[in-house]
Structure 1
Amino acid sequence: MLNIADTLYAWCREARPFALATVVQVSGSAPLPPGSALAVDADGQVVGSISGGCVEGAVYDLCQQVLQDDGPPARARFGYSDDDAFAVGLTCGGEIDVLVQRVEPADVPHLTAALDEAVRGRPAAVAQIVDGPAEFLGRTLTLGDGSVYDGTLGSENEDRAVVAQARALLRAGRTAVIDIGGAPDTCPAKLSVLVHTHAAPPRMLIFGAVDFAAALSQAGSFLGYRVTVCDARPVFATAARFPYADEVVVDWPHRYLAATEVDARTALCVLTHDAKFDIPVLALALSLPVGYVGAMGSRRTHEDRDQRLREAGVTTAQLARLNSSIGLDLGAHTPEETAISITAEIIAHSHRATGLPLSHATGPIHRSGPASPAPAKAARTAA
């Protein structure tokens, strides 16, 4: 639901009831992941998507019905129909389970607060019961800055169990279904809870205030990264040269990296191909738990850099994390093409994908499960 937080927050502020349809389970090749939502207000206004268009009409009708009847939450499954080409279903061949519920903003002030946090770009999580006894379906609990939560899922034991896992998911920026309960002495009801998260944007750190960095900062911003461009040369590291960067820092790359905050979602791109900048920052980066490390340069530059990093004490296992030369083999020449090559590799790396053309691959197009950093380089070539 947090993918449409801005509209839902506006409706909550206006005390406007709405029906919320949420993807709670996906199997096979489905277009959108769990947590994707569509909402309909009493005037018939609709926002969001749960299937990219395949079953939106049927879900819209369900939302209208829930709103008019003021009925309990309902689950529905949509899949591909081989028998009837005109049946409502997913043409992609997968299946999705959808929970549709009526939301009265006055009854869930904690949800309004969480939507407000998400709209402001602050971390927030909403835990929503999506499977279990009928009287529990649709209940929500919200988590703010990691230390404060509100709402209830059923009992204090259930709330605590969910909050602990929701905090971990929020730190990782993951939306996922968790199962709790089933223990008679603590949480007797067995529940499936979908934890929606809105984490702080992942970071893209670009070292080297060059033309390629300007294009990459624009591409990174488009993908939702909080982009930092860092260079030790003040004449090049200026905000005017990098209008799409969230910040431009004048500092030695390794010194800045040592003092800034990174995590498993951070993408780190070294574009200087100058040993006095590259070696210190890469030696440090490869020892940190960042999601992606890439470095620009020719084959010869890579060989020289590899040797220098080994001499600096970087291990073979650490060097295996380095994507050099940076980017996928797209035949890129211009800074803009190179930025696409680099971001394509970052996307593939984050989802543990091959980077191969889909026409040359087999299996589902849409992978299930959360994106997470790949442990090592997948099949890839240089930019």
Structure 2
Amino acid sequence: MLDIADELNRWCAEGRDFAVATVVGVTGSAPRRPGAALAVDAAGEAVGSVSGGCVEGAVYELCQEALESGTARCERFGYSDEDAFAVGLTCGGVIDILVTPLRAGTAARAVAESALAAAASGGPGEATALARVVKGPSGMLGAALHVGPDGRVEGTLGGHPALDATAAGETRALLDAGRTATIEIGEEGSRCGRPVELLVESSVPPPRMLVFGAIDFAAALARAGKFLGYRVTVCDARPVFATPGRFPEADEIVVDWPHRYLESQSQSPSAGLDGRTVVCVLTHDTKFDVPLLERALRMPLAYVGAMGSRRTHLDRLARLREAGLTEGELSVLRSPIGLDLGARTPEETALSIAAEIVATRHGGTGVPLTGAHTPIHHEPSPGPSPGDPVTTGGV
């Protein structure tokens, strides 16, 4: 539900009644992951998606029914020969959907409003999480807890008091990791007793993309980064090139030596550099590249890539070894940057780089899906693994 927080926060401000259908479980191949949501208001307007089109019509009707009845329900949609082209997932997967009515003036609505407002603000420090019952004792389905950015807990799951305390602790742990996942707790807050299954949705500020080198390729990459949901910074030591007019898509333009800026950001708790941050070095200049990479490759980042020819790459590696970097640290570097798409233009090159970032994030191989036997949808990992092998090419 928090993935469509902007729209739903607006609906709340306008006083609309609505119901939300949320993916709470996935088995096999399915286009959307847990947390994906479709919402329908009392007038029939819809936002979001739970399946990329496979079961949207049926889920839309479930939302209308839940809004009318005021009762939460859970439904399963899956593939079968009989319903493959009626109501089902023709891709072969199975998804579980929680449908929750959120009428103005109800306790469930108050908890949702608080979570949606925090998620919609999206600013630094505005990490928030929403935990909802997806399986459990009668009457608890859809009950919610909100863990706010300040750690404050709102709402109740309606069972044993210890259940709320344990659920809040588990939710905080997932929020700290920036993860959305299902968890199981005993109905009295322990690991024993009848299980209560919760979906915990985490909403954290957008990850950062740091693009070093104010060149035309950087402008195209800034657009691609924004499209992927990153907060994009373009940094260059040359003020004549690092201007807002040249990079209208970037969230911020910084005039500074790249290594100095990266170091200042790494020392600032509010800067938002973390294991989701990607660094793209496009400067093509040893005096900028080497000091910058010397620092970036020693930081726990999601992705570090550097543009240049294979000859430039070998020279850069030699200089970084002289600077004291280990082979393990150097193995993190994606250089030449990007996947082998045969890219020529700045836009094509940005696509190549963006593709490698996505592949690194999800453990993809970068090979064509046609004729391959690799999974289409990869299971999300608990956190980014910068050292995972990814096919690289020359840009």
Q: What TM-score range do you get, normalising by the shorter chain?
A: over 0.9
1:236 counterpart SS class: coil
Query: Quick one: which amino acid aligns to residue 75 of structure 1?
Result: C
Determine whether 1:5 maps to 2:5. yes
Q: For residue 97 of structure 2, what is the aligned residue in structure 1? A: 98
Query: Quick one: which amino acid aligns to residue 47 of structure 1?
Result: V
Q: For residue 205 of structure 1, what is the aligned residue in structure 2? A: 210
2:343 to 297, 311, 332: 332
Task: Report the Cα offset of residue 105 of structure 1.
Answer: 3.2
Q: Which moved more, 1:198-207 or 1:57-66?
A: 57-66
1:274-313 → structure 2 map (5 Å cutoff): 274-313=285-324
Tell me the distance in 2 between the aligned counterparts of 1:64 and 1:51: 18
Tell me the distance in 2 between the aligned counterparts of 1:87 and 1:243: 45
Query: Quick one: which amino acid aligns to residue 339 of structure 1?
Result: A
Q: Which moved more, 1:17-26 or 1:116-125?
A: 116-125
1:239 counterpart SS class: coil
2:179 to 171, 174, 180: 174
> Taking structure 1 as the reference length, what is the TM-score of the superposition?
0.94
Structure 1 contact 177–193 (Cα < 8 Å) conserved: yes
1:373 to 377, 381, 384: 384
* Pairwise CA RMSD: 1.9
Structure 2 residues not aligned, in runs of 5+ = 266-270
Q: For residue 89 of structure 1, what is the aligned residue in structure 2? A: 88
For residues 8-49 of structure 1, give each alpha carbon's deviation from its aligned partner in whole angstroms, at most 9, with x where no partner exists.
223323443322211110011101111111122222222221
Task: Report the Cα offset of residue 146 of structure 1.
Answer: 4.2
Tell me the distance in 1 between the aligned counterparts of 2:84 and 2:192: 45
Query: Quick one: which amino acid aligns to residue 144 of structure 2?
Result: T
2:245 counterpart SS class: helix
2:50 counterpart SS class: coil
Q: For residue 61 of structure 1, what is the aligned residue in structure 2? A: 61
Tell me the distance in 1 between the aligned counterparts of 2:81 and 2:285: 59
Tell me the distance in 1 between the aligned counterparts of 2:169 and 2:393: 41
CA 1:251–1:184: 2 relative to 1, 3 Å? closer
2:139 counterpart SS class: helix
Q: Which moved more, 1:38-47 or 1:281-290?
A: 38-47
Q: Which moved more, 1:307-316 or 1:169-178?
A: 169-178
Q: For residue 257 of structure 2, what is the aligned residue in structure 1? A: 252
1:346-361 → structure 2 map (5 Å cutoff): 346-361=357-372
> Taking structure 2 as the reference length, what is the TM-score of the superposition?
0.91
Q: For residue 112 of structure 1, what is the aligned residue in structure 2? A: 113
Structure 1 contact 202–224 (Cα < 8 Å) conserved: yes
Structure 1 contact 352–373 (Cα < 8 Å) conserved: no
CA 1:135–1:241: 2 relative to 1, 3 Å? same
Identical amino acids, percent of aligned pairs: 57
Tell me the distance in 2 between the aligned counterparts of 1:169 and 1:233: 41
Q: For residue 41 of structure 2, what is the aligned residue in structure 1? A: 41
2:57 counterpart SS class: helix
1:135 to 112, 136, 139: 139
2:6 counterpart SS class: helix
Q: Which moved more, 1:82-91 or 1:218-227?
A: 82-91
Q: For residue 153 of structure 2, what is the aligned residue in structure 1? A: 149
2:132 counterpart SS class: strand
1:318 counterpart SS class: helix
Tell me the distance in 1 between the aligned counterparts of 2:167 and 2:375: 31
CA 1:195–1:48: 2 relative to 1, 3 Å? same
Q: For residue 79 of structure 2, what is the aligned residue in structure 1? A: 80
Tell me the distance in 2 between the aligned counterparts of 1:284 and 1:133: 52
The aligned length equals 382
Structure 1 contact 264–289 (Cα < 8 Å) conserved: yes
CA 1:15–1:155: 2 relative to 1, 3 Å? farther
Tell me the distance in 1 between the aligned counterparts of 2:131 and 2:282: 41
Structure 1 contact 295–324 (Cα < 8 Å) conserved: yes
Tell me the distance in 2 between the aligned counterparts of 1:360 and 1:295: 31
Structure 1 contact 157–187 (Cα < 8 Å) conserved: no
Q: Which moved more, 1:109-118 or 1:81-90?
A: 81-90
Q: Which moved more, 1:357-366 or 1:322-331?
A: 357-366
Tell me the distance in 2 between the aligned counterparts of 1:136 and 1:370: 30
Q: For residue 232 of structure 1, what is the aligned residue in structure 2? A: 237
Structure 1 contact 231–237 (Cα < 8 Å) conserved: yes
Q: For residue 268 of structure 2, what is the aligned residue in structure 1? A: none
Structure 2 contact 243–253 (Cα < 8 Å) conserved: yes
Q: Which moved more, 1:94-103 or 1:170-179?
A: 170-179
Structure 1 contact 180–192 (Cα < 8 Å) conserved: yes
For residues 142-187 of structure 1, give each alpha carbon's deviation from its aligned partner in whole angstroms, at most 9, with x where no partner exists.
1221422211223443233233332333333321112222567687
Task: Report the Cα offset of residue 125 of structure 1.
Answer: 1.4
Structure 1 contact 15–106 (Cα < 8 Å) conserved: no
2:105 counterpart SS class: helix
2:370 counterpart SS class: helix
